[in-house]
């Protein structure tokens, strides 16, 4: 394997020749190119594949076997060591059970954010510790930078459309201090081009923000199999009965399709009440609010100062913040303009000068 074709991409050289780094590898193109870039820059790389799933976790064993075999093949082609670690117990307890519990409570969670915080990055760091290795790396499109006070924050990766800092805002600082993100200065197309140029052939095609434990993306089927179905009323904002639903967990804020309600004007899910087994529908205007409450904070800055912007979901364009009020472990964020379909269970992430300074899980508005 020749690496001179990728030497023009800037990665910090190891402090000593052959410095070790453990790279989380899924067998996909992103993590494979990350490993290749580090190896080509003089690091002694160990590829690590985490086994998240077990029988009954949502996918058959074959799919994860494909992930492992693909990662092994890439590591062989790069001439680097490969290891696997089974984290299926932690993944089931901390991610899958959390995921189903949130839907049961009428919220819409983002499991990838929780996995990064509680399973993926801690497991990679622990594996590195067991090998006596300080540095770790992944194939995320993310960039770390320091602000004027020297705090380590997420900046914006070169590929703005793929930037994954939103998914990583909860990763502990003690782990961030050890991380290298080789793809920070690359676009997805450049990564694909690099993979083709150095002859990397990967088998897995899933994107890292896909929910890995949902077979064929069948969210409804997964939830139905894991949460007891309990039907209830569908009402309008005045309490008038419109119909019946098949379980509150089947719905999310802002949903319009699949409601099974005949109406002369478009209706959207505006409220979910599992306790009363009730779904409330309203018009589009009722979905807007200018205030969001979040808890479970992970802040890099004690007292956020304006100007700020915030995302209320991954694909949301950062919106200008009017005010921020922090009380113990809750944060109240007011926007200059009302935001549509604020959803409990998703993450609100705060940005200052384009850098992530923290966030929390949305609990209300």
Residue 138 and residue 121: Cα distance in Å, rounded? 9
- Whether the per-residue pLDDT at 208 is higher than 70: the answer is no
- Whether the per-residue pLDDT at 8 is higher than 50: the answer is no
Is 75 a residue of the active site? no
Question: What average pLDDT does this structure show over 152-169?
Answer: 96
Asked whether 307 and 291 are in contact (CB, 8 A), the reply is: no
Predicted confidence at residue 87, as pLDDT, reads 97
Domain 287-364 has CATH 3.30.410.10: no
User: Which one of 57, 75, 112, 115 is the catalytic residue?
Assistant: 115
pLDDT tens track for 220-246: 999 999 999 899 999 999 999 999 998
Q: How would you class 278 by CB atoms within 10 Å of its CB: exposed for 0-12, middle for 13-18, buried for 19 or more?
A: middle
User: Which one of 75, 112, 212, 294 is the catalytic residue?
Assistant: 212
Helix (H) or strand (E) holding 190: helix 188-197
Return the domain boundaries, the chain: 16-214, 228-282, 287-364
Residue whose token pair is 């076997």 = 65
Residue 264 and residue 261: Cα distance in Å, rounded? 10
Asked whether 106 and 273 are in contact (CB, 8 A), the reply is: yes
Asked whether 125 and 178 are in contact (CB, 8 A), the reply is: yes
Predicted confidence at residue 15, as pLDDT, reads 58
pLDDT tens track for 39-71: 999 999 999 999 998 654 444 444 677 889 999
* 228-282: CATH superfamily: Adenine nucleotide alpha hydrolases-like domains (2.30.30.280)
Question: What average pLDDT does this structure show over 126-155?
Answer: 96
Predicted confidence at residue 9, as pLDDT, reads 46
Class of domain 16-214: alpha beta
Confidence class for position 201, pLDDT limits 50, 70, 90:
confident
Mean pLDDT of the chain: 90
């Amino acid at each position: 394997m020749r690496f001179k074709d990728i030497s023009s991409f800037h990665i910090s050289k190891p402090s000593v020749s052959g410095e070790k780094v453990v790279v989380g590898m899924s067998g996909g193109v992103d993590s494979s190119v990350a490993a290749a870039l580090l190896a080509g820059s003089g690091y002694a790389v160990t590829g690590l594949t985490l086994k998240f799933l077990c029988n009954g976790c949502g996918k058959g064993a074959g799919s994860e076997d494909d992930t492992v075999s693909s990662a092994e093949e890439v590591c062989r082609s790069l001439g680097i060591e490969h290891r696997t670690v089974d984290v299926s117990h932690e993944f089931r307890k901390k991610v899958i059970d959390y995921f189903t519990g949130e839907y049961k409570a009428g919220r819409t969670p983002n499991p990838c954010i929780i996995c990064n915080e509680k399973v993926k990055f801690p497991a990679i760091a622990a594996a590195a510790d067991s090998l006596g290795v300080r540095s770790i790396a992944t194939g995320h499109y993310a960039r770390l930078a320091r602000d004027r006070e020297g705090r380590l924050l997420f900046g914006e990766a070169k590929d703005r459309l793929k930037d994954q800092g939103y998914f990583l805002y909860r990763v502990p600082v003690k782990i961030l201090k050890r991380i290298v993100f080789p793809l920070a200065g690359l676009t997805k197309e450049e990564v694909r081009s690099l993979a083709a140029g150095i002859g990397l052939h990967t088998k897995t095609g899933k994107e890292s923000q896909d929910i890995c434990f949902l077979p064929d993306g069948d969210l409804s089927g997964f939830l139905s199999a894991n949460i007891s179905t309990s039907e209830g009323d569908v009402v309008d904002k005045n309490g008038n009965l419109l119909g019946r639903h098949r379980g509150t967990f089947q719905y999310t804020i802002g949903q319009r399709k699949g409601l099974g309600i005949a109406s002369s004007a478009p209706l959207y899910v505006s409220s979910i009440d599992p306790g009363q087994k009730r779904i409330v529908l309203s018009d589009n205007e009722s979905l807007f609010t200018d205030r969001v409450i979040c808890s479970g904070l992970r802040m890099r800055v004690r007292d956020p100062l304006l100007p700020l912007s915030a995302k209320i979901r991954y694909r949301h364009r950062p919106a200008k913040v009017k005010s921020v009020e922090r009380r113990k472990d809750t944060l109240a964020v007011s926007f200059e303009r009302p935001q549509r379909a604020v959803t409990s269970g998703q993450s609100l992430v705060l940005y200052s000068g384009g850098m992530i300074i923290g966030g929390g899980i949305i609990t209300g508005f």
